[in-house]
Structure formats: C-alpha cells, structure tokens
Homo-oligomer: A and B are copies of this chain.
Amino acid sequence: MAEHPLDKVFHPRAVAVVGVSSSQGRGFGGSFFQALVEAGFPEIGGLYPVNPKVSEIDGFRCYPSLLDTPDPVDHVISQVPASVAPQLVDQCIAKGVRSIHFFTAGFSETGDEAMAATEREMIAKLRAAGIRAIGPNCMGLYVPSSRLAFMNGFSMEPGNVFLLSQSGANAGEIVGDLTSRGVRFSKAISYGNGADLKAHDFLDYAASDPETDVVAAYIEGVQDGPAFFEALKRCALTKRTIVLKGGLTQSGSRAAHSHTGSLAGSSAIFDAVCRQAGAVRAEAMDDLLDLVVAASTDPHRITGRGVALIGGGGGGFAVLSADAIDREGLTVPRMPASAVQKMREFIPVAGSSVNNPIDAMPDADHMEEMLRIVATAEGIDMMFMSAIGGMRRPPVMPSASEPDPDEQSKAVVEAAKQSAAQMRRLQDETGTTFVGVQRGGRMARMMGLSSEAFAQAAYEQGIAAFPSVTRAARTIAKVLEWRAYREGLPEIV
C-alpha cells in the first residue's frame, strides 16, 4: 500500500515545543513538553524545547528560537501567543519543518476579522511551503506508536481505535474515559479550527490506516460538506465509524460558533449523511464512548434482540432494568419451561427468580451451569451480566474489620479477571454474546466492586462492559439499527 501523505505528520522523528514554559503543571492543556517526556518521545526522537527566557527544562537544553535547534525538526508544537504566531510560521518555513500544531488560540474562533485574516495568511504561507497545520486552537496529536501525547498519563500501548475531535477538551475526556474502560488508540487528533487539515483529511487517512479498525469522530462544524461526505463514506466502508456532531440544536450551534467558529447544521440532515455513508451517529458523548467499546469488542456482531439479564442483589433492580431494556428496543424473553426446570434442580424457589430476569446466586459450579442453560435457551441473543450476581464476588468482602486496601484491590482485580475469563469461555462455548453491565450506587461500592477493574478485564477478553443496563441496551439497539442500514455495504459491523 502506498504511504498516505499524512503518514509523516503522525510519525515525526524530531519535535520542537515552541513557547514552552517551565512552570506549567502536569496533565492540563499546555504542558506538551512534559507530556512528550513522560510518553518517552526523547527515547526515539529529538525533543527541543524553545523559549528565549529559559535555558533548561527538566534537564533538556532549551533553545532561544526554532532556528537555533541543532538538527532537522519534523513537527512543531506552538504554544506562543497569537501575536507571535506569524513570526513562528516564517521560522518553520526557514527551518523546513513538515508540520505545525497550533495550541495557540485567538484566531478565527474569536469572531475578530483581523485575527481570522491572520489565520488565513499563516495557513496560506505554510501550504505554499508544503507544511501541514493542525489547528489553531487545539491539542494536536496522540500517537502511541510514535510516543506522542498531548496530556500526561496517556497510555503508550497502541490500539485499533482512531479518534478525531475538533475539541481538545473532548479529545482528552474521550481518551481518558475510554482508556479506563480498556480501549487503546492507534491515533487521536484534536484539530480545533481546522484551518488547514480538516475532518475529511483525517477520515481519509483513517480509511486506509492498517493500524485502525474503529474510527470515532467528534465534529462541531463540517467545513467542506461534499469532501466530508466523501471521506466519511470511504472511511465507513472499511472501518466501523462513529460520529458525534456537536451544535445540532439552536443553543449548541451558537456555542459551537464561538468555540471553533463552526456553523450550524440540522440534526435530520446529519443523521441522513451518517446513514448514507454507513456510519453510526452518536447523539451524545456517552453514546460515542459506548459505541466505541461495542465496535471494538464482540457486541457489534450481535444480530438479535433477546436479552437474558443475570443479576442478583435486588428484584427491583431487575424490574427497572427490564423496563429499560424494553424501552431501548430490546426484549427480555421468558425462559422456556425446559430451561426453568433444569435450573430448578439446583436453585431453590424462595428468594430467587429463574424466569428472566435471572436473580439467583448458586455456588460457583452451579452458577456456570446456570449461565450455560440460559445462554443456550431459545430466544437469547445476549447475556447481560450485572456486576452483582452473575459474576464472582470478590473474595474480600466489607466487614466490621476493614481489610487491607492493597489486598482488597488485588482481590478485586483478580475477581474481575476471573469473571471476564468465565464470560469469554462461556461465550465461545455457547455462541451467545456476553455483555458486562455495571451498577453504580452505594451497593456496588459497599461490595467493593470496581467498575474500572471489571471493564478493563472484560475488554481484554473482547467483552464489552457498560456503565448501566440502559446504556448497554441503547448501544446494542443502535448497533442493530446501524447494521440494518449498512445493507449492501461490506459487513464490518
């Protein structure tokens, strides 16, 4: 396969951070230098902090200007004030860099015509010199395989999810939240005003990126409608593609305009665009997160609507969960009499229900037998495993004498891994998809259940875990709808 023109942007061998400050904290916007050090970029490439007022940062020599850096520089991160940015553009051209990411804000998004003109002029100059620009007003690149990160604490383990976000804060939230659910990324880009590189450029890249299977995009404004639609179609043809569009309401549209200078769009039109392209539209941030998890684990292959809800610890929870599943368009079918009879051989009548929702807590061996009976029952397409009940309880339980927290957390992780492995094993054996559903609230906390530990252990086994029954049902219903309107396109969902 021919190299994509953007490949070099994602894989720089030398980076300069211009306008770096030594006083910036960890973890927040603006600490790019520290994030790159933590990501290990200096172990594979040259990292050059630039600031005329500083001579050294964290043991790295700091250069007075970009032109003073000793070697070729591929990628520049601009943290200089907007007023100084045009001068940095000239230096980039003189230095012969390949790409520049403007964290610098204060251009077209302010609505100020003079600053919008400055933005246009800078981009025109850079383009003429063959330099690609990301931004302005954004967080830039996160590429684990290139040791690039825009915030501290990002995982350097590469994955198969490609994220595209116009908003930097949303990019940070998405990466952070999905990472804690086990997801890993091939690339993530926050592109802000999109003055040069736009959503369609990145979608075009993702479409043929061999490291990517799932593409998630947060878009505020579509800057070139036809190009966007073409790129989205190309991308959604071969990658499971999820799009969240901000600013589709009147209030949101006004907010998007002052955030990234983006113009409004209609919800109905955007929905039609996604459908025609074969992408799935997320309606809110939670949808985007959940769809990425579903698209990168097994639930994207579920074909029916029948849910078995396995969860002890409360019939009221089962009732409301069944209501939620039904409202989202899935069903909780009654267990066939033969399955009930088999379960009643080892599950007592009092204090249990085996009619689906299944609310019973047999011992470990019988639990496995129960799950096998339910998973192979007629009408069951998926097993929703509530974090209380269907999976092993952590062996260390809260008691009057508080257990050692380290021991407890090890036990929680171990229990999560055992549950996840059991789900994988039973799924492979029965052909029915297992899905983890978590309970928040006091009860789960008291039982020492860690939704994060469980979600991660499940994800490693290709099993999706969702923060609630409602979100699990909603996500899978969306997947079913998505597959239906992809008819005729290659089967990737």
- A177 and B25 within 8 A (CB): no
Whether a CB of chain B sits under 8 angstroms from the CB of A390 is no
Whether a CB of chain B sits under 8 angstroms from the CB of A318 is yes
- A316 and B170 within 8 A (CB): yes
State A19–B441 Cα separation when bound (angstroms): 29
Whether a CB of chain B sits under 8 angstroms from the CB of A254 is yes
Whether a CB of chain B sits under 8 angstroms from the CB of A456 is no
Q: How large is the interface on A (under 10, 10 to 19, 20 to 34, 35 or more residues)?
A: 35 or more
Q: B-facing mask of A233-261, CB < 8 A → 1, else 0? A: 00000000000101111111011101110
Q: Which of A177, A179, A317 has the most CB of B within 10 A?
A: A317
Whether a CB of chain B sits under 8 angstroms from the CB of A209 is no
Whether a CB of chain B sits under 8 angstroms from the CB of A112 is yes
A-B contact pairs, 12 of them (CB 8 A): A167-B315, A167-B316, A168-B316, A170-B320, A220-B316, A244-B320, A252-B323, A254-B334, A258-B315, A258-B353, A259-B316, A259-B359
Whether a CB of chain B sits under 8 angstroms from the CB of A158 is no
- B169 and A443 within 8 A (CB): yes
Q: In chain A between 279 and 337, which residues have their CB closer than 8 angstroms to a CB of chain B?
A: 284-285, 313-327, 331-332, 334
Indicate whether A320 sits within 8 Å of B252 (C-beta atoms), given known contacts A110-B349, A398-B26: yes
Q: B-facing mask of A267-285, CB < 8 A → 1, else 0? A: 0000000000000000011
State A285–B317 Cα separation when bound (angstroms): 9
Whether a CB of chain B sits under 8 angstroms from the CB of A122 is no
- B441 and A173 within 8 A (CB): yes
Whether a CB of chain B sits under 8 angstroms from the CB of A379 is no
Whether a CB of chain B sits under 8 angstroms from the CB of A166 is yes
Q: Could you say which residues of chain B place their CB within 8 Å of the CB of A251?
A: 322-323, 325-326, 331-332
Whether a CB of chain B sits under 8 angstroms from the CB of A105 is yes
- A260 and B169 within 8 A (CB): no
- A25 and B355 within 8 A (CB): no
Q: Kindly identify which residue among B106, B246, B327 contacts A349, using a CB–CB cutoff of 8 Å.
A: B106
Q: B-facing mask of A78-120, CB < 8 A → 1, else 0? A: 0000100000000000000000000001100010100000000
- A260 and B315 within 8 A (CB): yes
